[in-house]
Amino acid sequence: MNATATDTHEQHDSHAPGLSDATAIKIALILAAMTALEVSTYYVDFGAFFMPVLMVLMVVKFFTVVSYFMHLKFEHQMFKLLFYTGLGLALFVYFVALATFKFFS
């Protein structure tokens, strides 16, 4: 127990190195490209793919920022638990509430 404890302690007492600046810029470029693709749906008719494309891009952008810019991917499980519990509960209660208004049908 003591060994584990010390281990945990050392891991987190100091600061994360963070993303390298180069990686951060690459990710930002990818995000920019995805935004451009999103905006293009305004000019080009995507037909049946319109909604799925926008939804997928939105979700991918969301988790890219959370995982890399907010660094959550590399953080302790505890932080993931705290944030994703909030996110998960929000999705659950609001989807159910909107469903009772027959929003999705």
Partner 1 sequence: MAIIERPAPTASILLRAPVTPSQSMGIVRRPVTSTGWKSWVFTVDHKKIGIMYGVFAMFFFIVGGVEALLIRLQLATPDGKILSADLYNQMFTMHATTMIFLFAMPMAAAFANYFLPLQLGARDVAFPRLNALGLWLLVSGGLILNASWFLGGAADGGWFMYSPNSGPVFSPSNGVDFWTLGVQIAGFGSLIGSINLIVTILNMRAPGMTLMKMPVFCWMILVVQFLLVFSLPVITVALVLLTFQRSFGATFFDVAQGADPLLWQHLFWIFGHPEVYVLILPAFGIISEVLPTFSRKPLFGYPFVVFSGASIGLVGFGVWSHHMFATGLGPISVAAFSIATMAIAIPTGVKIFNWTLTMWGGKIWYSTAMKFAIGLIVLFTIGGLSGVTHAVAPSDTQQTDTYYIVAHFHYVLFGGMVFGLFSGFYYWWPKVFGKMLNEKLGGWNFWLMVIGMNMTFGPMHILGLQGQPRRMYVWTEARAGEGLFNFGFWNRVSSLGSLILAIGVLLFLINVVHTTRKGKPAPLDPWDARTLEWITTSPPKEHNFDRIPVVHHLDDFFHRKYQEDATTGAMVQIATGEQLVRDEEANADAHIHLPSPSYWPIAIAIGVGTLGMGVVYGVPIMIVGVLIILGSSFGFVLEPSVADDIDYDPPMSGGQETKELAPLG
Partner 2 sequence: MTHRCPVAKKRKSWRPLDDVAVLANHDTGHDTGHGHSTSTGLSNNKMAMWLFLGSECLLFGGLISTYMLYRGRITQGPRPSQIFDIPFTSVSSFVLLMSSLTMVLAVTSAQRKDNERTKLWLTITALLGATFVGGQVYEFTAFYNEGLGFTTNLFSSSFYTLTGFHGVHVTVGVIMLLSLRGIISANKDTGDRAEVVELIGLYWHFVDIVWIIIFTLVYLIPA
Between 52 and 88, name the residue whose CB sits nearer to partner 1.
88
Q: What is 7-62 written as a DSSP string?
A: HHHHHHHS------HHHHHHHHHHHHHHHHHHHHHHHS--GGGHHHHHHHHHHHHH
Q: Does 37 participate in binding partner 2 (rule CB under 8 A)?
A: no
Interacting residues toward partner 2 by CB under 8 A: 1-2, 4-21, 24-25, 27-28, 31-32, 35, 38-39, 41-42, 51, 54-55, 57-58, 61-62, 65-66, 69-70, 74, 76-79, 82-87, 89-91, 93-94, 97-98, 101, 103
